[in-house]
Structure 1
Amino acid sequence: MFNSALARTAAPRTQLTLIAALVGSGVTLTGVVGCPSVGAALASASSAVFPAALPLVAPRQREPGPPRPPAMPRPSSPPPAPRLIPGRADGVVPDGVTVFDTELPAVANLNPGLLRALRQAARDAAKEDVTFFVNSGWRSPKYQNQLLQEAVTNYGSAKEAARWVATPETSPHVSGDAADIGPPKAAAWLSEHGARYGLCQIYRNEPWHYELRPKASASGCPPMYADPTQDPRVR
């Protein structure tokens, strides 16, 4: 029979050990069920063995530091100036322009004597089934400068570009004193017959470039320069 006095005086852990030993030895615990003393002992022992969970401690909040100063705006650079693309008003010509298309500035702004000579030569060449086209005539300084910059890029240096394109200040195209005639068949016709009209090829490396030399009709065209860099007018 279970001794309740022993259960009351034993420590909780000892009580559990004693009860387990008695049950293991086959002792019947009469009156244990519903016995206040045994229930209290079991509850006390359980709380001793399995203590209640410790309360959770909230993490310490980090105190905010001083506010950061606002970022200074970066100075904005001015937008690049829009690139002005030359058009027909600057002497750009579309394909198929002839010396008779005076509605285009490239033709209309040519030196009047040069334009008359080109038209007369074109009429005579047409009788031989040769058509003159104006690949370039008068040019504005802006257009001439663009062509020069493109030549520097294409040829790799200003020195090499000068063999093909003059500056706006020295180009006979800007003054209206030169015309580039094509196709090659027309340029070849002028090379053979141009002096009769005072039309001369000026540069050996440009068989399309013609200018007016009025005395050529009597004495022939003057010797050609190798390229524009040899022309004292463009130095």
Structure 2
Amino acid sequence: MAATSVDPRWADGALPEDATVFDDEYPGVANLDPALLRALREAATDAGIAFYVNSGWRSPKRQNQLLRDAVAQYGSKEEAARWVATAKRSRHVVGDAVDLGPPDATSWLAEHGAGYGLCQIYRNEPWHYELRAADHGCPAMYADPTHDPRMHQ
């Protein structure tokens, strides 16, 4: 069986605007943790809403570029850290986080996501979800990534 080649535009985790949780041809979707991807697909199917993946898995190189862009946009590493983690700390780089849209999908997940194990982690990022729910539901949200102890380990 011949190996399929990945379009170089998407190899680092970049995604087209219309990529959904069902689009395995993109590494940004296909490289998500399998349990996270199953939960997202089940939730999207049950919701009857398209869950667009604005960002899923990212290569370390892409993550570092996003961080450099955020520093330029926000003016400092400290302010950028409220929005973008380093490649070493990012849950996206290991495939454990996804940024979703449109707002009706994230609104649906805010109400129903815990039933699928899907939790919004940061109050300042209503689009960012991780597979984190336990029997008692989702953990309390952090104000932003700078309050997340995983970003300081």
Specify the TM-score bucket, using the shorter chain as the normaliser: over 0.9
In structure 1, the partner of 2:119 is 200
Give the counterpart of 1:213 among 126, 132, 139.
132
TM-score normalised by length of structure 2: 0.93
Following the alignment from structure 1 to structure 2, what is the Cα–Cα distance between the partners of residues 225 and 135?
21
**Where does residue 119 of structure 1 map in the other structure?**
41
1:87 aligns with 2:13: no
- Counterpart of 1:227, as a letter, is D
Q: CA deviation at 1:87?
A: 3.3
Q: Deviations over 1:37-59 (max 9, x none)?
A: xxxxxxxxxxxxxxxxxxxxxxx
Deviation of residue 173 (structure 1)?
Answer: 0.2
CA shift digits 1:129-172 (9 cap, x unpaired): x2210000000000000000000000011100000000000000
Task: Give the structure 2 partner of residue 141 of structure 1.
Answer: 60
More strand by share: 2
1:174 to 93, 97, 102: 93
**Higher CA-based Rg:** 1
Distance 1:112 1:147 in 2: 24
Query: Which residue among 130, 138, 142 is the counterpart of 1:225?
Result: 142
Matched, 1:107 2:29: yes
Q: Which amino acid aligns with 1:220?
A: G
> Aligned-residue CA RMSD in angstroms?
1.0
Q: Decide whether the 8 Å contact of 2:13 with 2:59 is kept in 1.
A: yes
Which secondary structure state, in structure 2, belongs to the residue aligned with residue 135 of structure 1?
A: strand
3-state SS of paired residue (1:168): coil
Q: Percent identity?
A: 69
1:214 offset after TM fit, Å? 4.4
> Any stretches of 5+ residues in structure 1 without a counterpart?
1-85
The alignment status of 1:183 with 2:102, answered yes or no, reads yes
In the alignment, the residues of structure 1 paired with residue 31 and residue 85 of structure 2 have an alpha-carbon distance, to the nearest angstrom, of 19
Question: Which structure 2 residue ranges, 5 or more long, are not aligned?
Answer: 1-7
Amino acid at match of 1:91: G
Cα distance in 1, alignment partners of residues 133 and 124 from structure 2 = 22
Equivalent position amino acid for 1:225 in 2: Y
Q: Whose relative contact order is higher, 1 or 2, with alpha carbons under 8 Å and at least 6 apart?
A: 2
Task: Determine the C-alpha separation between the residues in 2 that align with 1:123 and 1:151.
Answer: 34
